[in-house]
Amino acid sequence: MFPRNVSRRTFLKGTIALAGTAPLTGCLIGARSGTASGQLIAYVGTFSSPLRNMLPTQVDLPPGNGRGIHLFQVNRTTGAMTAAGLVELGTSPSCLAVNASGTRMYSANETDRVGDGNEGTVSAFAIHRADGQLKLLNTVRSGGAGPTYVSVHPSGRFVLVANYFGGSVAVLPILPDGRLGPATDIKNDAGQIGPTKATNAPPGSFAFSGHDRTHAHMIESDRSGRFVLHVDLGLDQIFVWKFDDQKGVLAPNEPAAISLPPGDGPRHFHFHPNGRWFYSIQEEGSNIVLFDYDAAKGRLAARQTVSSLPPGFAGSNFCSEIMVSADGRFVYAGNRLHDSIGIFSVGGNGELTFVGEEWTRGNYPRSFNFDPTSQFLYCCNQRGDNVAVFRVDRKTGGLTFTGHYAPVGNPSIIVFVDLAKAG
């Protein structure tokens, strides 16, 4: 089906320990037996309520309906998901990242309190090659409150963390056994907070989310690993850092940051496969900005701005995810409240043209991801408590709902590991 027009966010006290203490026991629930050869496993991170014997958590109120990290076996032919396990975490593991070999996973636990400190945590897990089940290795402090994003540096030796409520980013070393060490660097965002009204807000919009203070929302390296970029929604800026992959230290690039229109609120970004085009999505401005990226100098130059919404839209919307298809031909943009995924074709010069949209079959699509073959797109409908599965038309970029849902309380992110290729 061609896209159709459809107008429509403490700690485990005494349970999960910080670095250097014993791993959590009994965290694997509902593991399925059977032949693992060729299995494709999906991991869904959620917003989850604190479990018993835990201090209260103040993230994404009201408390989440998820139970931690939910595991699913994925049918490669139909895209359907079958529950395959659960790692119970009451600290809202809202972002997950897998290393290149598919043997380790890292979760940003979006809590804002660890003991007496105003800080969140990041956990490291080993992925069992036979069935994809997770074993907790350790948990460390994230360098700020409310870690909302983690990514693995291309060297495979560091995890990068964005602390939303703390307004900071951190570098965590990956030890030889996959565990995490204490942060080698922490940077605190600073600057002038943007206005509560986005420059490019749709007509009639009352969208306001993060222009009350600094909010680091995403951090990721470029393909070379020489530069690390992160966005701060409250400052309306994209920061660029030079990265020392021996010491795990960030140093300001020249220039150190680039500003977006006041109030628009950069949230996520994605590089085109060619490494030369960089797409940033703005949460409150409901738009996408194309930047040319100079990989030799780590510099961004804005070239095009387009709305993430269909022509004529009016009212409030909050953008969420942005992804470029593996073949580089299409860009997909998540719209919350409008509850759609906008679909854009990529021109020969990287510029975007709106080609359609698809209703997400749920409420408040926080993120989405493609399976490893790019045949299916999986959308995490945070307030709809489900993951909806769509088949991708590689010629048109269109999405067709498969009819498959996976029930998950407050899903936030989905990542995949192909056990046939892991290790």
Tell me the pLDDT tens digit for each residue of 337-389: 999 999 999 999 999 999 999 999 999 999 999 999 999 999 999 999 999 99
Whether the pLDDT of residue 5 is over 90: the answer is no
Identify whether residues 234 and 338 lie together within a single domain: yes
Kindly state whether residue 382 falls inside one of the protein's structural domains: no
Mean pLDDT of all residues in 86-108: 96
Residues 217 and 170 in one domain: no
- Show which of 326, 342, 359 is a domain's final residue: 359
In whole angstroms, give the CA distance from residue 265 to residue 243: 25
The sign of the CA dihedral 394, 400, 402, 405 is positive
What pLDDT score was predicted for residue 64?
86
167 and 278 belong to one structural domain:
no
Tell me if 271 sits within 8 A of 262, measured CB to CB.
no
Average pLDDT over all residues of the chain: 89
Q: Distance between CA 241 and CA 224 in Å, rounded?
A: 13
Paired tokens of 104: 């380790």
CA distance 364 to 360: 9
Whichever domain contains 95, its CATH number is: 2.130.10.10
Q: Are residues 324 and 299 in the same domain?
A: yes
Q: Judge whether 404 lies within some domain.
A: no
Residue 401 within a domain: no
Distance CA 63, CA 50 (A): 8
Asked if the structure places residue 371 within a domain, the reply is no
Q: Is the peptide bond before 407 cis (omega within 30 degrees of 0)?
A: no
Question: Is 365 part of any domain?
Answer: no
Neighbours of 274 (CB within 10 A): 13
Q: Is residue 214 part of a domain?
A: yes
Same structural domain, 169 and 228: no
- Say if residue 103 is in the same domain as residue 85: yes
Number of domains comprising the chain: 2
Residues 135 and 47 in one domain: yes
Residue 199 corresponds to which tokens in the numbers above? 């420059």
User: What's the rounded Cα separation, in Å, for the pair 176 and 406?
Assistant: 35
Half-sphere exposure of 36 (CA within 13 A, CB side): 18
Give the per-residue pLDDT at 113: 65
| Domain enclosing residue 281, as ranges | 189-359
Whether 338 contacts 359, CB under 8 Å: no
In a domain, 364, yes or no: no
Do 175 and 31 belong to one domain?
yes
- Token pair of 349 as six digits: 């010069």
- 359, 384, 399 — which closes off a domain? 359
- On the question of pLDDT at 304 being above 90, the answer is yes
238's tokens: 């994209």
| DSSP secondary structure letter of residue 262 | T
Q: CA Rg, the chain, in Å?
A: 20
87 and 138: one domain?
Answer: yes
- Strand-pairing partners, residue 86, are 29, 70
Both 140 and 175 in one domain: the answer is yes
Percentage with pLDDT > 70 across the chain: 87
Q: Which residues make beta-bridge pairs with 247?
A: none
Burial class from Cβ neighbours inside 10 Å (0-12, 13-18, 19+) for residue 242 reads middle
Is 252 a domain residue?
A: yes
Q: What is the pLDDT of residues 153-190, one digit of tens each?
A: 999 999 999 999 999 999 999 999 999 999 999 999 99
Domain co-membership, 86 together with 220: no
The structure's pTM equals 0.90
Q: Are residues 104 and 251 in the same domain?
A: no
Q: Which residues contact 189 (CB under 8 A, 6 or more apart)?
A: 167, 168, 169, 214, 216, 232, 234, 235, 239
Average pLDDT rounded to a whole number, residues 257-263? 98
